[in-house]
Structure 1
Amino acid sequence: MVAFQAKAGTDEKNKIAGTWEYSAPTAPYPYTSGRIVLKEAESGLAGELVVEGNRLPASSVAFENNELVMEIEIEYNLVTVKFKLVDGSLVGEANSPDGPVEVKASKVE
């Protein structure tokens, strides 16, 4: 049973690990589009936001029950992004200092 639970956790990470192309049309420039890179790490998942070649590491990444939550410092503000995995796409929102921003992402790798 323990092996099954460990495998289930790995399967969950495999669903989400990879590179995702995101779109956030109402976000401030240059954050309207870019990539989210998620990788397996010893402590679970690690991630970063890649915008115009700049890499912004996530301070925390959690994926459970098809929900992804990331925290990223953007221009000195801690932004929490919450997604649901729906039909192979990530759909959610970020809590920007200017209010909620809708974000969608599709896996590219």
Structure 2
Amino acid sequence: MKNLMLFVLVVFLAVNTVSAVEKPATKEIVGEWKYEVPSAPYGYNMGTLVIEEKEGKLLGHTKLEDGYKIDLKEVTYNDGIFKCGLYVDYNYVSIKAEVKGKNMKGMVDTPDGEMPITASKVK
């Protein structure tokens, strides 16, 4: 009987330990980021990335300087790397950037080629 109770206790602790594994820290990425893509066409070269977490999933949108919003697709953040995509004038554009503190630096992959992107957290 003692062996059975010990076995149940060990299994219970093992299950709780496995389920207590931390999720990737998304707190660092959530918020507003002012971005610049100097080589992008005027109107798309500056704006704000707004990244939120709802029900354990990342989502967001970009606000262009004229106020137009574009929803982000496939938003992920793992090991300091932010990735997402969005449709710009019917073309899918993907972003991959490394986050270091309140700064982000990476590349935007567009039909016209890759373009550098930088961003700074504002909130």
State the TM-score, normalized to the length of structure 1. 0.90
Indicate if the aligned counterparts of 2:108 and 2:114 stay in contact, CA closer than 8 A.
yes
CA distance in 1, matches of 2:100, 2:40: 22
Indicate if the aligned counterparts of 2:34 and 2:47 stay in contact, CA closer than 8 A.
yes
Name the structure 2 match of 1:5: 22
Identity of aligned residues (%): 29
CA distance in 1, matches of 2:56, 2:87: 20
Name the structure 2 match of 1:33: 46
Q: Quote the offset at 1:72 in angstroms.
A: 0.4
Match of 1:56, as an amino acid? I
Runs of 4+ in 1 over 6 A off after TM superposition: none
CA distance in 1, matches of 2:103, 2:95: 15
Name the structure 1 match of 2:62: 49
Structure 2 unmatched runs, 5+: 1-16
Match of 2:47, as an amino acid? G
CA distance in 2, matches of 1:73, 1:3: 37
Deviation string, structure 1 residues 55-92 (Cα, Å, up to 9, x no partner):
10012100000000011011000100001012421100
Cα RMSD (Å) of the superposition? Answer: 1.3
Structure 1 unmatched runs, 5+: none
Larger Rg: 2
Deviation string, structure 1 residues 35-74 (Cα, Å, up to 9, x no partner):
0000002251001111020110012100000000011011
CA distance in 2, matches of 1:59, 1:14: 19
